[in-house]
Structure 1
Amino acid sequence: MKISVIGCGYLGAVHAASLASVGHDVVGVDIDAAKVESLSNGRSPIYEPELPELLRAGLESGRLRFSADMSDVNGATVHFIAVGTPQRLGSSSADLTYVDQAFADLMPYLAEGDIVVGKSTVPVGTAQRHVGNVQERGAHLVWNPEFLREGFAVKDTIEPDRLVYGVADGDEYAVETLNEVYATAIEAGSPVIVSDFATAELVKVAANAFLATKISFINAMAEIAEVTGADVTKLADAIGHDKRIGRKFLNAGVGFGGGCLPKDIRAFTARAEELGRGESVAFLKEVDAINLRRRERVVELVTEELGGSVFQKKVAVLGLAFKPNSDDVRDSPALDVAVRLNGLGANVVATDPQAMQNSRRLHPQLVYGTTEEALADADAVVVVTEWPEYKELDPAEVHRVVRTPIVIDARNCLDADAWADAGWEYAGLGRQVRNGRATS
């Protein structure tokens, strides 16, 4: 099929390349000429495993191209809108400027029978605002939310765990067309759920709200564990065996970040208040508060372990991205911790395998270096992003290069006993401090 993808950021670039990889003829359109040039040369503007290979393969096959000219959507019969919906400045609400502009720019090029597919995460009611204009052109509107996990976005696009289509009543043509777009995934077993617009819009934010709540729940338990002597990791293991609860997303730590969960739960709360049902999701404000509180707790732990002050102490901050396998530092707890420690006068040296360039753009005041440079003569080591290379550090080897063997495990991803046995003072979130034995 001939397909256009409007918006070539994280979502759009992955979606365009993935659709081309399963045989469609795809053009990605974006107003950012530099981004278009980069993608046209096979260079991904983001770090996402497998995406560079998909881009190069699509460009070489001729099934994938990128353009800054909206008229290049001519000839496509399915048009995906995949632009960003950031948090509005000074508000919790989603900024729909890019979504509304994408619809407006697409309208002149729509042909009768075309399908417009919204993939952006939007407040409920957005599709209903646009369906009339789309139908006036003889076209069809579908809302098809994305469920991508950064670091696994290509797999989640090609092999989604579910496909949701929000359609106008009785629009079987739109359903059949999207089934053709996603034929590879459907044949592989991905279930299709057809709903109304409102349900499809709510699915993504409801899923993110649930995940955020689960993460903040275990972090609230970590706060209790710290004052009672309990171990939150063993607590999570125990309750995770209950199949009604499950172990996933029950890892206590510095909390969630990124471009989705924080802004989505805030926008969801704001939209519920607009609808006169703010009390229904009022708990999400506490979910957000617990999440932000964990960042401060990491800073407190570092301060406590360094005797009450971090001033002029060298602190190695391992990790800046909000999660591993990503260079995304939007609302990153890791980067926030580094900035807070720096603001308290610590000599922070921060490092990350992929996110240092993005971090420098946001916070040029920080000192950045390699892992070796960060660890050398450090008074404390803080692991805030659970990259495999940090989890696999040899505590005995690291002990030989730091000044003081203090490690704060802000993700509870290290083997606490192994670090303590190697002579470290280990502190985790919701876990008791393990005092190491002196080593030569």
Structure 2
Amino acid sequence: MKRERVRIEGGSIRVDGPSRARVIRGEATTNKGTEVSEGEELVIRRGERLTLTTDSELELELVLGTGAGYSVEEDGVEIPSDWKELAEELADHGGTPVCMVIGPQDSGKTTLVTFIANELVERGLKVGIVDADVGQSDVGPPAVVSLGIVEDTVHDLSEVEMRHGYFVGSITPSGHLLQTTVGTRRMVDLALAEGTDVVLIDTSGMVHGGPARALKLHKVDAIRPSHVAFLDRDGQVSHIKRMVKSLKYIKVHDLAVPDAVKDVERKDRIRRRERVLREFFEEREILELDLEEVSVQRAFIGTGEPVDLEEESELSALIKAVSGVEPEILHAERAPDAVVLVVKDQAGRIVGRGGRHARELRRLLNVREFVVVNEEELQGVLVGLCDGAGDLLGIGVIREIDFASGELKVEGRLLRDRTIRVVQLGSLKVDPETGSHEPMNVRV
């Protein structure tokens, strides 16, 4: 850590994290639209950048971590005028405007949403923030589309409490387009039900390729926002603009990307996500659930009838005949469209190279899906925990499934004290102690 005092006479100073900035003397405006004065301290996390602008004397004490730094702009850094114009238009809009922000990674989407929210709050408005960036979330934990309500100015969206959430189960929308779209729409509906004056939607930086095009287009179609704000650095989202420009129910805003926006390295994104997960799970507990009392969703497992001993024996014989493996079956169930097995550690050999054994077993069993998973592959799977209305209560990771007793143990954190009725399986494995995470390589 390096401690340094910096004094400027007007202009701007950009501070990169990880660092802290304490105001010794003077006043300034941040690039997120908040005012800071003597004695206030701001935390700039790794991969983030804060810009402070003043027209008078400003003295700061900076504590700079590894890789942190600062630069002084004598001429000052202005908030783009079109950002201010959008905030004014939303404030003066009749009814409850809904504004979706679209842009690639590192284009300033979250900074824009924070700035506009602060501008609107200063006018006495109640602002709903839908955080749909499941990989770099601020309001809620990663893998969740979350809703927060802003009624006071904030330096950072991470200060906003999550009111509601929708479990996506992944840190990327890719492969989870339905969950991301449905979750975003549900959070917008809840924001409107909370009586907000304006709803702002912060989206992911996934903008290239077929799935990205489908995600953005169908989000617009499902939500029907009144405004769509594009942060188009070097024409990277011009294709999405062309897809929506003629829609009569939205107004398209082509906004400037500030020069001060910082490019964040992939390793810093991962570190940030690990920190957010680690902090979220600090208040975790062990939750014991009865599989007979909950619905399991977003997986094949838990959706069929357990097979009896006779059918399990027949399954074992069939698997051995096809794959040459005598399976150690811990759990077997059959649904109208699938047979699901949990085994000790033989899933790969049972399925066969390229899935050739699984194809033959599907044919012989007359099912569309033959799902085999090793017991250990279920450990650490991220799950969403919902009540009987399907509202998210919290998230956790699977610690143990005792199929004999029908007990599921989850290590997680609940944000609401209600009975868990639904367990939604994600496609991510998480260590709640460290925040480390990796995608699941099997389907369950």
TM-score, length of structure 2 as denominator length:
0.23
Q: Relative to total residues, which structure has the larger helix share, 1 or 2?
A: 1
Higher relative contact order (CA 8 A, sep 6+): 2
Q: Which has the larger radius of gyration?
A: 2
